[in-house]
């Protein structure tokens, strides 16, 4: 597929599991700046503590959200660290908040911070990543670094290609 689109293959394939310690430090920095809080071993980003939250979409009380069984301050706060559940098996790391694992948005934010000094010229993705992933990813890194994550955001519609035989 990439040959037909004339896209060069990437030359580095970092794994999120290689950056878990950095993720734990990053989450602690967010907590230290009152941008995140702990609730029963889970860590949540406090969207009300970051006034720029919602730059990609207009957040409102009508936004469909998950049930708030985790007792978050705001039902739209998102997970930075998930406390270990029995169903997680051996997939967990130790932290000051207990055993658990980082959230998806935090994995990406920390890898961008570590590998690209927290700045990208162009950040791309499908329209399906605009919210919540890119919103949550950018909120974390921009709140802690006090600068934009990316100069340009490109959200593409889905590309359908019919394979000819």
User: Buried (b) or exposed (e) across 88-112, using 16+ Cβ within 10 A?
Assistant: eeeeeeebebeebbbbbbbbbbbbb
Q: How far apart are CA 129 and CA 87, in angstroms?
A: 27
Q: How far apart are CA 101 and CA 140, in angstroms?
A: 17
Cβ–Cβ under 8 Å, residues 104 and 118: no
pLDDT in tens, 17-72: 999 999 999 999 999 999 999 999 999 999 999 999 988 877 665 555 555 677 89
Domains in the chain: boundaries: 16-51+73-156
pTM: 0.86
As its CATH architecture, domain 16-51+73-156 has: 3-Layer(aba) Sandwich (3.40)
Beta bridge partners, 155, equal 125
pLDDT in tens, 121-150: 999 999 999 999 999 999 999 999 989 999
């Amino acid at each position: 597929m990439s040959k037909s689109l004339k896209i060069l293959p990437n030359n580095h394939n970092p794994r999120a599991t290689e950056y878990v310690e950095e993720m734990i430090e990053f989450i602690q920095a967010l907590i230290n700046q009152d941008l995140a809080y702990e609730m029963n071993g889970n860590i949540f980003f406090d969207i009300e503590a970051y006034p720029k939250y919602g730059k990609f979409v207009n957040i409102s009380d009508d936004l469909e959200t998950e049930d708030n069984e985790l007792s978050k301050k705001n039902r739209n706060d998102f997970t930075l660290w998930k406390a270990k559940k029995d169903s997680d098996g051996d997939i967990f790391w130790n932290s000051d908040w207990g055993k658990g694992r980082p959230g998806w948005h935090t994995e990406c934010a920390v890898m961008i911070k570590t590998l690209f000094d927290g700045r990208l010229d162009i950040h791309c993705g499908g329209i399906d990543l605009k919210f919540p992933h890119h919103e949550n990813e950018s909120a974390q890194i921009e709140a802690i670094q006090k600068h934009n994550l990316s100069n340009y955001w490109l959200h593409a519609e889905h590309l359908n290609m019919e394979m000819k035989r």
